[in-house]
Amino acid sequence: MSRPLDDFALIDAFLDGLWLERGVSDNTLQAYRHDLQAWQAQLAEYRADLLSPPAEALPDWLEARREAGYKLRSNARLLSSLRRFYHWALGEGRIEHDPLAEIRLPRVTASLPETLEEDEVERLLEAPDVDTALGLRDRAMLEVLYGAGLRVTELVGLTTDALNLRQGVVRVRGKGDKERLVPLGEEAGDWLSRYLRSGRGVLMQDVTRPALFPGRGDACLTRQAFWYRIKGYARSAGIERHLSPHTLRHAFATHLLNHGANLRVVQLLLGHSDLSTTQIYTHVAQVRLEALHAEHHPRG
């Protein structure tokens, strides 16, 4: 067995190992830390530590959380964090058996992501006033968001050196600080060229600053500010359905699959490390195909 560590040091060692092995993002590490510290506080009520939890502690806690209004998905995510910690502790020789081995993970039905029909996307893309520098910026951002399937955080963080219009690609830094090259598509490339010619210089005091899509003070536009503008454009385009910051990314994936794209290609474009994450879009596409069949087939 390895030398004993106190609970705080154990959590730090686990997170360090997770970062070294998988290169996960700071947000993911903070989520693990939050879950483990909450579990640590729960165990304090039993005068127990992380490596020796009483058998009844976790079931009792999960039930208390359920009664307090926590959703099944939240408990499942929490249990997943604890499982990973104890798997690490077992591999490190800090415990001889997994104390959660007999605890079943709650079944969670994956919810289908909200997306947009292709005509709704067109209306949203056409909403900005491209006769203004701000409108040009926003049109270019929407075109890249949809045309390349980026996360909003990836989009707003783009710098000019990440863009290669001659080759029609953009270098994106995604989750876990991993980079990928994503093709832009003709429309996105055309709007980016127009924005760089006529919009970006108007918006910036110092065009040598790296932000591709500037907000205040020549810094990158914030995610919150861009999301506020998206919601305004959706209203003006007459789109009444609920939107999330990922809606255009979901639409990108769903529309590719509807038009015959290979699932693994979509996985690479989205930057998913696990194909199972991408597979939910096959369900979205299937729902759409079933609706089309019901609407147009004589025996639908």
Q: Where do the domains of the chain lie, and which CATH numbers do they carry?
A: 7-91 (1.10.150.130), 118-296 (1.10.443.10)
Residue % of the chain over a pLDDT of 70: 86
- 178 an active-site residue? no
Query: Residue 132: its pLDDT value, please?
Result: 97
Q: Is 250 a catalytic residue?
A: no
Asked about 151 being catalytic, the answer comes back as yes
pLDDT at 48 over 80: yes
pLDDT of residue 263: 79
Would you state the structure tokens that stand for residue 42, as one six-digit string? 């729960």
Task: Kindly report, residue by residue over 230-281, the tens digit of the pLDDT.
Answer: 999 999 999 988 887 788 888 888 888 888 887 787 787 887 766 766 776 6
Catalytic position from the list 137, 139, 250, 272: 272
Q: For position 2, what pLDDT does the model report?
A: 44
Q: Which of 151, 200, 229, 250 is catalytic?
A: 151
| Residues 3-14: b if buried by 16+ CB within 10 A, e if exposed | eebebeebbebb
Q: Residue 173's beta-bridge partner residues?
A: 179
For the entire predicted model, the pTM comes to: 0.60
Catalytic residue among 139, 249, 250, 255: 249
175 included as an active-site residue: yes
Secondary structure string (H, E, C) spanning the chain: CCCCCCHHHHHHHHHHHHHHHHCCCHHHHHHHHHHHHHHHHHHHCCCCCCCCCCCCHHHHHHHHHHHCCCCHHHHHHHHHHHHHHHHHHHHCCCCCCCCCCCCCCCCCCCCCCCCCCHHHHHHHHCCCCCCCHHHHHHHHHHHHHHHHCCCHHHHHCCEHHHEECCCCEEEEECHHHCEEEEECCHHHHHHHHHHHHHCHHHHCCCCCCCECCECHHHCECCHHHHHHHHHHHHHHCCCCCCCCCCHHHHHHHHHHHHCCCCHHHHHHHHCCCCHHHHHHHHHHHHHHHHHHHHHHCCCC
Catalytic site residue 231?
A: no
Distance CA 31, CA 141 (A): 29
- So what's the pLDDT on residue 196? 97
Task: State the catalytic residue, choosing from 175, 209, 223, 283.
Answer: 175
Q: Which of 94, 200, 229, 246 is catalytic?
A: 246
Please indicate whether residue 171 is annotated as part of the active site: no
